[in-house]
Amino acid sequence: MQITLENMSKAQLIDHANKLQKTADVLQEKLARKDELIAQLQRMLHGQKSERFELPKNQLPLPFEPDPAHKAQQAEVHEQKISYVRTKTARPNHKGRLKLPDHLPVEEVEIYPEGDLSEMVCIGKEVTEELDLKPAYLFIRRYIRYKYADKSAEANPIHIGELPERVIEKGIPGAGLLASILIDKYADHLPLYRQVQRLRRQGVDIARSTIEGWTRQGLEKLTILYDHLVAETKSQGYLQVDETRIKVLESNKKGAAHQGWYWVYYAPINGSVLFEYQPTRKRAGPEKMLDGFRGYLQTDGFTAYKRLGATPGITPLGCWAHARRKFDKALTNDAARAGYVLTQLQQLYAVERMAQTNQLTPAERKKLRLEQSLPVINELGKWIPQEYKKVQPRSAIGRALAYCINQWDQLCEYLMDGHLEIDNNPVENVIRPVALGRKNYLFAGSHEAAQRAAMIYSLLAICKKHQVDPYKWLRHTLQNISTTRYNEVTSLYPQNFKATCSS
């Protein structure tokens, strides 16, 4: 039976008031969270997409109640306007049209004045260049092998010229056509059905299922190269790891696609990249791949990496870019605190740009970081725990501060070695082409197809890192991989192909 307020005792009234206050606090927190989400959505729709941060021009000093010893210093920092706009080098005076590349073939068209020129003397010429294009064309390569019989032999043995190694045994496509199909799909993200339409415009009618079969067989030829890449990835001493989703048609639910994952491993020192497909996002995938790995492992705060970081011989590294994004999202929740942290992080990234611009050695970069970045990090290390006590843990600023507290040792580890990067952005840049591909061909046809795509994604990413023409490399590889010795197959890596071409 419910007691009315008039019949409650003083103790009951106090207890009822406390319960109402707790309910009000919970509702207030939920309302604040919804307001925060609305502000984030509005910013996603109408705000800037860049992660660059600039303080408001008329922002007042931040009310953080610093210790008296640091009050003057912090006031100076807070009043300082920090602009996160990269300075552009001054362009020299424009001297006309840029010179066209020297390696392109030149087709010369000589034009003489009209009329009788017999009584005239040529006193010079003017040269005008234009860049033109001939669309790719198909041609038939017909191998004609002549047969000879030995007249002197009793059994008349027949001799015939040896057929060159075929990319697909008894198949129609040559290395150039197959390389073009694979590059168009996995580098330029052109789905196979559009390639079929393009071939039909050229009068070549090939079934889509046929081209799908060529694609599968072409990717399977790269398996041996990919297996070597897996072994070499485990031997690296510094890896960055991230993951991205991929839809796969195979699913237990009718009419639904399975949510698969690409785990990406990038070695910043030598520029090698490895994509591996896993049906789930569970930690078993990277644990199996990194079995036996020893060295630095740089990741974000995803829980699957926590156990990996605790493995003996592995030193976990954090990602300041992920921390910065959390404070960027918290601007709508607590602009003062989030803005302060972002200004401090700008100083850390200014040091990294300085090291990159001056092309410092790893030893010099470590020294620069200890001189300029370490004081900033030490100040943040004192400030963040103090401010975390003053905010709601479940708010955006609370989650951002908690992320830094939980990841603090990993975030600071990059200071210890000049070879290490401040964030995980290099491996994220490797993943971006996959996101673009998802918008075009939407899904992989099976788990096996997703893994085959992982192989070509790995090798094309290495091409990009080492500035290798992917078409020329892939055509060369498809032509030679079947005849290359097992212990020499690494000579077909994109970076080694570039060295071979330049020598």
Q: What is the pLDDT of residues 223-241, one digit of tens each?
A: 999 999 999 998 999 999 9
- Look at residue 156 and tell me whether its pLDDT is greater than 80: no
Residue for token pair 């609370």: 398
State residue 86's pLDDT score. Answer: 46
Structurally, at CATH architecture level, domain 221-317+427-496 sits in 2-Layer Sandwich (3.30)
Q: Which two tokens stand for residue 361?
A: 């050695």
State residue 303's pLDDT score. Answer: 84
Q: For residue 84, what pLDDT band results from cuts at 50, 70 and 90?
A: very low
Q: For residue 502, what pLDDT band results from cuts at 50, 70 and 90?
A: low
Residues 456 and 183: beta-carbon distance below 8 Å: no
Mean pLDDT confidence for 394-421: 93
Q: Which two tokens stand for residue 321?
A: 């870019």
Q: Half-sphere exposure (CA, 13 Å, Cβ side) for 58?
A: 0
**pTM reported for the whole predicted model:** 0.77
- Look at residue 218 and tell me whether its pLDDT is greater than 80: yes
CA 256 to chain CA mean position, Å: 27
Q: For residue 96, what pLDDT band results from cuts at 50, 70 and 90?
A: low
- Domain ranges (residues) in the chain: 175-216, 221-317+427-496, 320-422
Higher pLDDT, 86 or 172: 172
- Look at residue 376 and tell me whether its pLDDT is greater than 90: yes
How big is the CA angle at 453 (ends 452 and 458), to the nearest 5 degrees? 105
Mean pLDDT confidence for 472-485: 92
Annotate 144-206 with three-state secondary structure: CCCEEECCCCCCCCEEECCCCCCCCCCCCCCHHHHHHHHHHHHCCCCCHHHHHHHHHHCCCCC
Residues 37 and 29: beta-carbon distance below 8 Å: no
- Look at residue 60 and tell me whether its pLDDT is greater than 50: no
Spatial separation of the C-alpha atoms in residues 178 and 174, rounded to whole Å = 6
Q: Which two tokens stand for residue 48?
A: 């800037």
State the CB neighbour count (10 A cutoff) for residue 318: 26
Each residue of 246-285: pLDDT tens digit? 988 876 667 678 889 999 999 999 899 999 999 998 888 8
- Look at residue 212 and tell me whether its pLDDT is greater than 90: yes
Phi/psi-derived region of residue 105, left when phi > 0, alpha when psi is between -120 and 50, beta in every other case = beta
State the CB neighbour count (10 A cutoff) for residue 166: 15
- Look at residue 164 and tell me whether its pLDDT is greater than 70: yes
Residues 207 and 472: beta-carbon distance below 8 Å: no
